[in-house]
Amino acid sequence: MAREVNKLSTRGVLALRKPGRHSDGGGLYLVVDPSGAKRWLFLFRWQGKLKEMGLGGLTSVSLSVARDAAADARRLVAAGLNPIEQRRAAEAAASVVTFGDFSDQMIDDIESGFRNEKHRWQWRHTLEVYAASLRPIAIAGVNTEHVLKVLQPLWQTKQETASRLRGRIERVLDAGRAKGLRAGENPARWRGHLDSLLPRRKKLQRGHHPAMPYAEVPAFITELRKREALSALMLEFTILTAARSGEVIAATWGEIDRKAKIWTVPPERMKAGKEHRVPLSERALEILDRVELLRREDGYVFPGPRKGKPHSNMAMLALLQKRMDMESITVHGFRSSFRDWAGELTTFPREVAEAALAHVVGDEVERAYRRGDALEKRRKLMDAWAKFIGTTPAANVVPMVRPG
């Protein structure tokens, strides 16, 4: 008959005061010390001798986690392995396995399950950039203080990004525990832990990116063109095409058709999961001519400092907010600037402007009847946008731009 297990309850564990060992079954005991401190202990026989394996204090290891650890230890004993020795070996390995190295390997292992290339890029980007301070730390040593140091600067200004980052850190640490590189509770978990240390998230944060008024964009472009950095060319190309930064960052030369003046973004990098053709203005083509001098074997239009990596979105954001002192503006916000300009200063149909932004317009029936992507109409729109932002207005009155 199998040994009785799960004798204790969470409430009972908290209420226990009597010093001594209190069995949960299966070799797992809660030890109450004379001082009142409580800790977990796993007892097992090894080569005829009774062995004791500490699993941590109750303040850091819950009943459910202790049961999981005991179950893992029982499996090792059944397989002829000493769980104490296995833990020592894992701790020795964990002391040299950093959070950065482990997260990179984990993404390699799970990336086949990502929806698209953009999703892969977002995972790597957030863990490389926003969690940079965690990367050199041994994965076994990442604690709540480390996680808070990463999340707190983002929590008030970029809560959606911070929330996603927290979830990704939590998953990396869970994977580390599953590999035997960590023990105890996950310091990045939300419920019952970080939810008591960070403010409640504000609602409706998604989709609102601080944007520059469209009337100020021409003057901004004039200043931007005075800078020689690759990030400046990348930012201008992003504004000219009204594209999302993720679409631009991972753009490759194989997507560019100079003869047709089209950039074709594959579906796996589009938010809607559908191929998007972007008509290229003459200025956009000029930028491509300039950056082609940097062309490498990895094929990225805007290559990063490291081979095989594209340029970083953070480079554009740093240029915009730090070096150009536009702290209240985001790169994504220029899509709003474009949309406001198209709606207020042109007579292009709403559907053409929305198509330029790769937005899904209308219900399924309407979209079925409108099978084309209005490429030539969008070409006229994007040429008009390039002309508008490429000339600093000498007066406050901007002439109406008409299609055709």
Q: What is the DSSP string of 178-205?
A: HTTS--SS-TT-TTTTGGGTSPPPPSS-
* Domain hosting residue 345, numbered range: 214-389
Residue 93 has pLDDT above 70, yes or no: no
Residue with tokens 């482990």: 102
What's the structural domain count of the chain?
3
First-to-last alpha carbon distance for the chain, in angstroms, is: 85
Residue 330 has pLDDT above 70, yes or no: yes
The domain boundary residue, chosen from 41, 72, 94: 94
Please give the structure tokens belonging to residue 146. 């480390």
Each residue's pLDDT tens digit, 32-76: 999 999 999 999 999 999 999 999 999 889 999 999 999 999 999
Q: What pLDDT is recorded for position 370?
A: 45
* Same-domain check for residues 368 and 220: yes
Instruction: CATH number of the domain at 180, please.
Output: 1.10.150.130
**Percentage of the chain surpassing pLDDT 70?**
88
For residue 272, being part of any structural domain is answered with yes
Each residue's pLDDT tens digit, 171-180: 999 999 888 8
* Same-domain check for residues 223 and 347: yes
* Same-domain check for residues 136 and 182: yes
Helix, strand counts (H, E) of the chain:
16, 7
Residue 320 has pLDDT above 70, yes or no: yes
Mean pLDDT for 296-307 is: 90
pLDDT band at 312 (very low <50, low <70, confident <90, very high): confident
Mean pLDDT for 223-248 is: 93
Residue with tokens 């009847």: 369
Pair 248, 115: CB distance under 8 Å: no
* Same-domain check for residues 326 and 357: yes
H or E segment to which residue 221 belongs: helix 217-224
Residue 115 has pLDDT above 80, yes or no: no
Pair 401, 346: CB distance under 8 Å: yes
The larger pLDDT score, comparing residue 313 to residue 64, is at: 64
The domain boundary residue, chosen from 68, 94, 120: 94
Residue 204 has pLDDT above 50, yes or no: no
Pair 61, 40: CB distance under 8 Å: yes
Each residue's pLDDT tens digit, 354-396: 999 998 665 443 444 344 568 999 999 999 999 999 974 443 3
Q: What pLDDT is recorded for position 271?
A: 83
Q: What pLDDT is recorded for position 182?
A: 86
For residue 241, being part of any structural domain is answered with yes
For residue 168, being part of any structural domain is answered with yes
Each residue's pLDDT tens digit, 127-167: 988 899 999 999 989 999 999 999 998 888 778 788 889 99
For residue 284, being part of any structural domain is answered with yes
**Percentage of the chain surpassing pLDDT 90?**
59
Mean pLDDT for 319-344 is: 88
Q: What pLDDT is recorded for position 121?
A: 74
Give the closest residue to 382 by CA, choosing from 285, 241, 263. 241
This prediction's pTM: 0.52
Residue 240 has pLDDT above 50, yes or no: yes
H or E segment to which residue 40 belongs: strand 38-46
State how far the Cα of 158 lies from the Cα of 152, in Å rounded to an integer.
Answer: 10
Pair 293, 302: CB distance under 8 Å: no
Q: What pLDDT is recorded for position 367?
A: 43
Residue 397 has pLDDT above 80, yes or no: no
For residue 220, being part of any structural domain is answered with yes
* Same-domain check for residues 351 and 229: yes
Residue 403 has pLDDT above 80, yes or no: no
Q: What pLDDT is recorded for position 394?
A: 41
* Same-domain check for residues 152 and 167: yes
Instruction: CATH number of the domain at 87, please.
Output: 3.30.160.390
For residue 207, being part of any structural domain is answered with no
State how far the Cα of 393 lies from the Cα of 172, in Å rounded to an integer.
Answer: 51
